[in-house]
């Protein structure tokens, strides 16, 4: 089912958790809401689920206004960060809960419920745990049971709040792949919240990057990584070298010295130059835009990582760059750096 | 800049959760919430009940507590002053009343002091050392809580009574325990034994032995460690235990009633005098004494609330 | 250490040992005779029966009070929260005379009730009322922290799964509180069985009708029938030990979440 969120505003006291947010999710998408804590991503998810209410704005699920319905009437599957399994119920009863509390008129008979629960436990590959209690399961198992429980009500959409946040690194990796393949299998429109960019880029079809209650960029994982729309996105996703520069016309200056790169339409005034570590070309001294002395080199895998001290008017700035291992760099060597790909964003504050 | 965002986000995270964590009805404007109407309120927050049900539950709780708990307390003071302030103070000035007050204070002082010392030592032993029979010791400490006060009194009668195990020997040596002050003190010590230890054990267990070990490694002696490290850490818990111990010691009725012998002016504590005067239909006098005990209970409750807040503060710096 | 153990044995172990030694002085027949005499049996029935009834009321009212205190904001909430502790703090004799005065035929509540034909003071109902009074903090204070700590998410989970509020409360929240509720119930029950001071004034103390077991112990003692007193005490003691044992099992069950059914 498609989801449409329009002009959502949500304030907690004077703090705007969501500031005029618009979002369209197409049927069958697997979307990630990515942002630092406090960016409003969880609040947005809870508003779509009906667990929180916006101060203004609209939420439509499949073209139908969702705000007239409470959480229990929306048929939205919600997977909680800490699973929220019912501790006094077995795994089986947890999964069956949503079916057992349906209004009598549409409630299925016991045999159908049992068959459905069995089917879901098979889907999450945990049917052998059906008589256990949540306290007897591992974190990864609990998360999969929570997912099976959310799927039991045949949700129109599936929402997951930091689904892997409480798991250790290894289980987290396994579950990511598992979630993606599960989505390929059942194809229900899904949104998950995460603060882990790797998780978002690896699992989602599309990523929504949020900060301070606003959406910074929406795009495929490739788009948000390669073409960050704002300084925040560039800084938040992937690691970047950030240097303060001055733009006037098409000229870019660092510390008063002109850099022979184009401003690409950045407004005149103070700005920030963003370069990915691996997008810095290294040449002999004097050949590029930035000169500096190599202070330290570490080599691992296919790359060598060098700390380069760029000397400026107010002492030196140390940056880290990644270079291929075709030419061994030496500590003490003076090199020249030239950004191959870069972005310049005007400084806002 | 990154520092600032970090700070900002951590507070916002807290705020984001506040409305849902902080139980049900939005805390800042409860009236507004009700005014908005039931269906919206219930819909807005999936974690609360419709307005009328909320009203009924609050009404039931408040009514029950008012009728069964507040009203009896009010009756105490109303009856004490029913014949005026003069009669009230006259009743308290009776020699019998003064003797009872004095005895109660004496017994409380003795039993609180002894239980304070041994409660601290017992809690220390239980929470900082491992030894066989520890569970047994804990059970033993809890025991007086689970025994009827009457039975607590009875065991001392069996020991020191005329037909008791030590009765003949005590009589031969002309030592009076039962139906005398020592018996009252013993019974009071018995019933109030758990309070101090109970208040301290969880606190000391939580604090562990690290600070003591650090002190000893820095060259402090055992006593120095206790007075400079352990005691400051447990002072609020200790006060809490002493407070409850004292309240019970002054108010104990059942156990003391069995061992006291009800000798007027000699072995009547305040609660016992309340009973005697009440049975003699001297209601004003009886309730005058009772009002003193009720005051003690109220003061104890207030101090207890303050101490609980202190104890919470030492655990988590969280101002609610 | 040694001092602690010595003190403990002097103040707790020796007296209790005396109680059991005294019991063993009785032959089994004598013991049985005391326990099954009409007056003793009735006293035990009254004590245990009314305690059970009072604990049931405490269970229901305690849950309602906890719910109101934890889940709702209303004027005076903090005050009422503190008031719950009064039965703990008020000396039992004071509670006893106050309840009697309140429910006596001319009392503030006794008078209107008398007009309805209900006599509370000096009847078994009076005993029941006193037991409800002293038991209420046990349920409230046991359940309150558990309800406060209850995970917010499980209620939201229930709602998102389509459960209405009724289902959420009765299938999710209350079952999570069961261990605490049962513990509170057991504590209130145990306290009521042993209670003396707040009950004897309002009880009427009519043998076989409104005479509680602790009072019978006191009466037998004053008659110097130590053996009789001891036998009754032992029955009460064993009962309260069973209750404590049950509470401990309950708590362990709550921690391990081992199913009961």
- Residues whose CB falls within 8 Å of the CB of residue A321, separated by 6 or more in sequence, listed in order: A241, A277, A278, A280, A282, A305, A306, A308, A337
Contacting partners of chain C (3+ CB pairs under 8 A): A, B
pLDDT for A168: 84
What DSSP string runs through B86-144?
Answer: HHHHHHHHSHHHHHHHHHHHHHHHHHHHHHHHHHHHHHHHHHH---TTHHHHHHHHHHH
| Residue in A closest to B7 by C-alpha | A38
pLDDT at A43: 93
pLDDT digits 0-9 by tens, B64-80: 999 999 999 999 999 99
What is this model's ipTM?
0.90
Maximum distance among all alpha carbons in chain B?
A: 88
- SS3 label, residue A160: strand
Q: Report the half-sphere exposure of C167 (CA within 13 A, side-chain side).
A: 20
Instruction: Report pLDDT for A150.
Output: 93
pLDDT of residue C1: 59
Residue C226 has pLDDT above 80, yes or no: yes
Q: Which residues contact A316 (CB under 8 A, 6 or more apart)?
A: A292, A309, A310
* CB atoms C161 and A153 under 8 Å: yes
CB contacts < 8 A (A, C): 81
The residue written with tokens 């239909």 in the block is: B281
- Looking at residue B314, its pLDDT comes to 65
Nearest-CA distance from C140 to chain A in Å? 21
| pLDDT for residue B227 is more than 80 | yes
- pLDDT confidence bin for C255, thresholds 50/70/90: low
Q: Which residue of C has its CA nearest to B146?
A: C240
Across residues A339-348, what is the average pLDDT?
A: 85
**Helix, strand, or coil here: C119?**
coil
Rounded to whole angstroms, how far apart are CA atoms B74 and B58? 22
pLDDT for res B319: 36
- Out of B15, B42, B43, closest to residue A15 by CB: B15
CA distances from B254 to A304, B152, B257, C98, C211 (A): 83, 8, 5, 17, 15
Give C-chain residues touching A83 at CB under 8 angstroms: 153
List, for residues A140-149, the tens digit of each pLDDT value: 899 999 999 9
Ramachandran angles phi, psi of A122, nearest 5°: -65, -40
Q: Is B121 on the interface with A (CB under 8 A)?
A: no
pLDDT bracket for residue B32 (50, 70, 90):
very low
Instruction: Collect all residues of chain C within an 8 Å Cβ-Cβ radius of residue B104.
Output: none
How many residue pairs bridge chain A and chain B with CB atoms within 8 Å of each other? 42
Chain A CB within 8 Å of residue C150 CB: no
Q: What is the mean pLDDT of residues B231-251?
A: 91
Q: With contact defined as beta carbons under 8 Å apart, do C162 and A151 qualify?
A: no
8 Å CB contact between A53 and A47: yes
Of A223, B86, B250, nearest to C90 by C-alpha is B250
Q: Which residues pair with A32 in a beta bridge?
A: A192, A207
Nearest residue in chain B measured CA to CA from C199: B254
Whole-angstrom distance, CA of residue B82 vs CA of residue B291: 12
Contacts of B301 in chain C (CB under 8 A): 82, 85-86, 89
Query: Residue A37: which of B13, B18, B42 has the nearest Cβ?
Result: B13
CB contact under 8 A, A153 and C162: yes
- A101 to C163: CB separation less than 8 angstroms, yes or no: yes
How does pLDDT run across B170-192, given as a tens digit for each residue? 888 888 888 888 999 999 999 99
Higher-confidence position of B128 and A32? A32
CA atoms within 13 A of residue A97's CA, in its CB half-sphere:
35
pLDDT for the residue numbered B29: 34
Task: Mark yes or no for CB contact B274/C80 under 8 Å.
Answer: no
For chain A, list residues whose CB is within 8 angstroms of any CB belonging to chain B.
12-13, 15, 17, 36-39, 42-43, 50-53, 69-72, 349
The whole-angstrom separation of Cα A51 and Cα A58 is: 15
Q: At what angle do helices C92-103 and B71-80 cross, to 10 degrees?
A: 90
3-state SS of chain B: helix, strand, coil percent to 5? 80, 0, 20
- Does residue B211 surpass a pLDDT of 70? yes
Q: Hey, are the CB atoms on C153 and A72 less than 8 Å from each other?
A: no
- Tell me the pLDDT tens digit for each residue of B125-163: 888 777 777 777 787 787 888 889 999 899 888 888 877
Q: Which structure tokens are listed for C186?
A: 């057991």
When pLDDT is averaged across residues C10-24 and rounded to a whole number, the result is 79
For β-strands A343-346 and A269-276, DSSP reports them as antiparallel
Whether the predicted pLDDT of C123 surpasses 60: yes
Q: How far apart are CA B208 and CA B231, in angstroms?
A: 13
- Cβ contacts (< 8 Å) between C1 and chain B: which residues? 121, 125, 129, 131
> Pairing mode, if any, of strands A189-194 and A30-34?
parallel
Question: Which residue in chain A has the smallest CA separation from B39?
Answer: A70
B151–C237 C-beta distance less than 8 A? yes
CA A239 to chain centre: 15
Interval A6-23 mean pLDDT: 91
């Amino acid at each position: 089912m498609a989801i449409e969120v329009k002009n959502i505003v949500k304030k907690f006291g004077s703090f705007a958790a969501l500031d005029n947010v618009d979002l369209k999710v197409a049927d069958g998408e697997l979307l990630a809401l990515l942002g630092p804590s406090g960016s409003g991503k969880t609040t947005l998810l809870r508003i779509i689920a009906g667990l929180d209410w916006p101060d203004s704005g609209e939420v439509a699920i499949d073209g139908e206004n969702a705000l007239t319905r409470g959480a229990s009437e929306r048929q939205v599957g919600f997977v909680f960060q800490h699973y929220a399994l019912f501790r006094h119920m077995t795994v089986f009863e947890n999964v069956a809960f949503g079916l057992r509390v349906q209004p009598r008129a549409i409630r299925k008979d016991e045999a159908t419920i049992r068959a459905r629960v069995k089917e879901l436990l098979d889907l999450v590959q945990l049917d052998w745990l059906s008589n256990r209690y949540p306290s007897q399961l591992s974190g990864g198992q609990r998360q999969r049971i929570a997912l099976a429980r959310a799927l039991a009500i045949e949700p129109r959409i599936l929402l997951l709040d930091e689904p892997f946040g409480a798991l250790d690194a290894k289980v987290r990796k396994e579950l990511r792949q598992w979630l993606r393949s599960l989505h390929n299998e059942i194809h229900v429109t899904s949104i998950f919240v995460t603060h882990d960019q790797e998780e978002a880029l690896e699992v989602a079809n599309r990523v929504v990057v949020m900060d301070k209650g606003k959406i910074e960029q929406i795009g495929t994982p490739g788009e948000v990584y390669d073409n960050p729309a704002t300084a925040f996105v560039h800084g938040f996703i992937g690691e970047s070298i950030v240097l303060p520069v001055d733009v006037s016309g098409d000229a870019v200056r660092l510390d008063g010295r002109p850099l022979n790169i184009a401003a690409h339409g950045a407004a005149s005034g103070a700005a920030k130059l963003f370069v990915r570590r691996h997008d810095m070309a290294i040449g002999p001294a004097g050949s590029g835009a930035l000169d500096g002395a190599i202070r330290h080199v570490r080599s691992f895998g296919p790359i060598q990582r060098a700390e380069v001290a760029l000397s400026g008017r107010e002492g030196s700035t140390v940056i880290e760059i990644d270079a291929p291992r075709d030419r061994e760099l030496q500590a003490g060597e003076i090199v020249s750096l030239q950004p191959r790909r870069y972005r310049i964003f005007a400084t806002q504050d | 800049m990154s520092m600032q965002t970090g700070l900002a986000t951590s507070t916002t995270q807290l705020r984001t959760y506040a409305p849902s964590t902080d139980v049900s009805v939005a805390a800042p404007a409860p009236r507004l919430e009700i005014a908005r109407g039931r269906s919206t309120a219930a819909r807005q927050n999936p974690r609360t009940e419709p307005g009328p049900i909320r009203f009924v539950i609050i009404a039931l709780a408040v009514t029950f507590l008012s009728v069964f708990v507040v009203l009896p307390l009010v009756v105490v003071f109303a009856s004490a002053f029913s014949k005026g302030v003069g009669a009230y103070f006259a009743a308290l000035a009776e020699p019998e009343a003064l003797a009872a007050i004095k005895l109660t204070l004496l017994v409380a002082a003795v039993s609180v002091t002894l239980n304070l010392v041994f409660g601290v030592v017992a809690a220390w032993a239980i929470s900082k050392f491992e030894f066989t029979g520890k569970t047994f010791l804990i059970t033993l400490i809890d025991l007086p809580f689970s025994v009827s006060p009457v039975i607590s009194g009875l065991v001392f009668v069996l020991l020191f009574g005329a037909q008791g195990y030590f009765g003949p020997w005590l009589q031969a040596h002309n030592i009076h325990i039962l139906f005398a002050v020592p018996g009252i003190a013993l019974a009071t010590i018995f019933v109030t034994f758990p309070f101090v230890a109970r208040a301290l054990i969880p606190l000391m267990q939580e604090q562990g032995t690290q600070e003591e070990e650090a002190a000893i490694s820095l060259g402090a002696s055992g006593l120095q460690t206790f007075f400079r490290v352990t005691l400051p850490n447990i002072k609020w818990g200790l006060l809490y235990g002493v407070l409850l111990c004292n309240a019970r010691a002054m108010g104990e009725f059942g156990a003391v009633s069995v061992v006291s012998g009800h000798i007027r002016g000699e072995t009547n504590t305040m609660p016992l005098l309340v009973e005697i005067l009440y049975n003699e239909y001297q209601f004003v006098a009886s309730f005058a004494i009772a009002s003193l005990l009720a005051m003690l209970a109220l003061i104890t409750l207030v101090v207890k609330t303050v101490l609980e807040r202190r104890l919470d503060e030492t655990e988590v710096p969280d101002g609610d | 250490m040694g001092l602690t153990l010595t003190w403990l044995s002097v103040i707790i172990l020796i007296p209790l040992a005396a109680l059991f030694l005294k019991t063993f002085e009785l032959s089994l027949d004598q013991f049985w005779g005391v326990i099954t005499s009409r007056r003793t049996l009735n006293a035990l029935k009254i004590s245990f029966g009314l305690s059970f009834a009072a604990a049931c009321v405490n269970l229901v009212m305690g849950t309602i009070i906890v719910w109101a205190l934890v889940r709702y904001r209303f004027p005076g909430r903090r005050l009422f929260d503190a008031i719950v502790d009064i039965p703990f703090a008020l000396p039992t004799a004071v509670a006893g005379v106050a309840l009697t005065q309140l429910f006596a035929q001319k009392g503030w509540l006794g008078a209107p009730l008398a007009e309805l034909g209900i006599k509370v003071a000096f009847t078994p109902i009076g005993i029941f009322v006193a037991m409800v009074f002293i038991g209420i903090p046990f349920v409230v204070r046991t359940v309150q922290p558990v309800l406060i700590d209850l995970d917010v998410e499980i209620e939201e989970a229930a709602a998102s799964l389509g459960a209405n509020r009724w289902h959420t409360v009765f299938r999710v929240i209350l079952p999570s509180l069961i261990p605490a509720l049962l513990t509170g119930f057991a504590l209130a029950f145990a306290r009521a069985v042993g209670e003396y001071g707040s009950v004897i004034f309002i009880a009427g103390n009519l043998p076989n009708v409104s005479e509680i077991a602790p009072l019978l112990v006191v009466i037998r003692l004053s008659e110097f029938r130590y053996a009789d007193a001891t036998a009754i005490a032992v029955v009460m003691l064993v009962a309260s030990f069973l209750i404590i044992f049950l509470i401990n099992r309950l708590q362990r069950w709550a921690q391990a979440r081992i199913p009961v059914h």
